[in-house]
Amino acid sequence: MTGDGTTGEAVVSLRGVRADLGSRPVLRGIDLTVHRGEVVALLGANGSGKSTAIRTIIGQVPVSAGEVELFGTPRGRFRDWARVGYVPQRTTAAGGVPATVTEIVSSGRLSRARFGVLRKADHAAVRRALELVGMADRAKDSVNALSGGQHQRVLIARALAAEPELLIMDEPMAGVDLASQEVLARTLREQVASGATVLLVLHELGPLEPLIDRAVVLRDGCVLHDGPPPKALGQHALPGHDHVHPHAPTRTGLLS
């Protein structure tokens, strides 16, 4: 929150990035830079390539041309993953076997744990992350017993457990009830206030609108707009504009 974000160090930088899924080009040469302390929203219709753009940054989707850098290091050589917190696009935090909220969130701490051994400080960080999203009282519950919004809070706590400098979130508000949306907006506000950099994919700006410094709009794998959040999209956030995202409960994510 330096006010003038463009002068800060580039935390995420994509230059001329192209990516294909199968033989279909999904990204056709996009440029995107996120500076330290900025909150950047990646907007666009379904199929515009916003999730793919995020997934090239974390290395889940290979890049066919162009360069991706994290904290000034080419992605292929980047090792300092504890600086990055990632919230993938999911409707559930559950897997094929029951797991408690703490067990799921603890896996977010592995980037700071040596050989997968969690020490006292790591357990404390997990507890803090749960408190940040207001889930500390559910720590020992099975994630199967949670609502959709609570699942999302668990996924965000998992990303926060490593105390990252950069948060990358893919549609954190999809399928989230209003109470959880407010908790998430508050959590994000606190993170930004303490200096975190945020890149998030959004379907609409919604309750996060006041936090967004800059919006990048994609269409057909190209950058259509890069600047202040577009006003038209902002209206989607008005109270009473209800978006319902139907998701089949058993699926683990639209792209997984």
Residue ranges in contact with other proteins by CB under 8 A? 22, 55, 58-60, 79, 81-82, 84-86, 88, 90, 93, 95-100, 103-104, 106-108, 110-111, 113, 116-118, 131, 134, 136-137, 140-142, 145, 158, 162, 168, 179, 252, 256
Find residue 15's DSSP bridge partners: 67
**In whole angstroms, how close is the CB of 112 to other proteins at the nearest point?**
9
Residue 89 or 223 with smaller CB distance to other proteins = 89
**Which phi and psi (to 5°) does residue 3 adopt?**
85, -60
**In whole angstroms, how close is the CB of 37 to other proteins at the nearest point?**
21
184 SS3 class: helix
**In whole angstroms, how close is the CB of 252 to other proteins at the nearest point?**
8
Residue 35 or 109 with smaller CB distance to other proteins = 109
**In whole angstroms, how close is the CB of 24 to other proteins at the nearest point?**
13
Residue 84 or 205 with smaller CB distance to other proteins = 84
The alpha helices in the chain, defined as continuous H runs, are 50-58, 101-106, 120-132, 148-160, 178-193, 231-234
Where residue 56 falls (left for φ over 0; alpha for ψ -120 to 50; beta otherwise) is alpha
Rounded to whole angstroms, what are the CA distances from 86 to 60, 140, 162, 171, 230?
Answer: 12, 23, 10, 11, 25
**Which phi and psi (to 5°) does residue 229 adopt?**
-55, 130
**In whole angstroms, how close is the CB of 228 to other proteins at the nearest point?**
29
Residue 104 or 192 with smaller CB distance to other proteins = 104
Q: Helices 120-132 & 148-160, crossing angle to 10 degrees?
A: 140
Residue 10 or 58 with smaller CB distance to other proteins = 58
